[in-house]
Amino acid sequence: MRAEDDLAFREYARSRSTTLRRTAYLLCGDWHLAEDLVQTALVKLYRSWARVRASPTFDNYTRQILVRCWLDERRRPWRRREQRDGIVPDTPYHDSPEGISDALLAALAKLPHKQRAAVVMRYCDDMSITDVAAAMRCSEGTVKSQTSRGLDALRQIVARPESAGRSS
């Protein structure tokens, strides 16, 4: 890669890493995994930087890479076998992304991964249906249905504690 391209990539990665990390956290709910996903996505972007740099939509391309990295991570066999119900000896660092409540993060964590990806990209990253479809490698109709189902599930998740409180 030419020195100018390398410098431009470094500047882009520096300026977008916080936003990408926030999106990754909203997808996976784990800051450490979010950092790994961003790193993997930036490595993949670096490989094709000279080709995609001139594109006016390379921000969408970067988010597409990030979402695909997360979906690939969810498919890994060792991830499915991992049990996360043990007690952690120390208190983990927990910092919600700016403007995102802990209740929303907890509700997002209960969604299936494709619904979660669709909701996060549509409403947290403000992406169009077309861009989300490209990122998820599916049709626009699938994005609409996954988003609709995800929003319905979020409404049910949020409404459950309120209804339990009223019956007492």
**CA distances (Å), origin 160, targets 87, 156, 166, 167:** 26, 6, 10, 11
The residue-averaged pLDDT of 81-107 equals: 64
Q: Could you tell me which residues come within 8 angstroms of residue 44 by beta carbon, excluding any fewer than 6 positions away?
A: 65, 69
Sign of the dihedral defined by the CA atoms of residues 70, 71, 72, 75, in that order: positive
Q: Is the pLDDT of residue 51 over 70?
A: yes
164's tokens: 């339990």
Q: Tell which wins on pLDDT, 83 or 67.
A: 67
| Residues 11-29 pLDDT 10s | 999 999 999 999 999 888 8
Strand ranges (DSSP E) for 1-159?
none
Residue 163: pLDDT band with limits 50, 70, 90: very low
Start-end of CATH 1.10.10.10 domains in the chain: 100-168
Q: Which of 109, 105, 120 is nearest to 20 (CA)?
A: 120
DSSP state of 153: H
| Residues 143-156 pLDDT 10s | 999 999 999 999 89
Start-end of CATH 1.10.1740 domains in the chain: 1-76
Q: Could you tell me which residues come within 8 angstroms of residue 129 by beta carbon, excluding any fewer than 6 positions away?
A: 122, 140, 143, 144
Topology of domain 100-168 in CATH is Arc Repressor Mutant, subunit A (1.10.10)
Query: Are the beta carbons of 71 and 117 closer than 8 angstroms?
Result: yes
Distance, CA of 134 to CA of 42 (rounded, Å): 18
Topology of domain 1-76 in CATH is Rna Polymerase Sigma Factor; Chain: A (1.10.1740)
End-to-end CA distance of the chain: 66
Residue at 126: amino acid letter: D
pTM over 0.85: no
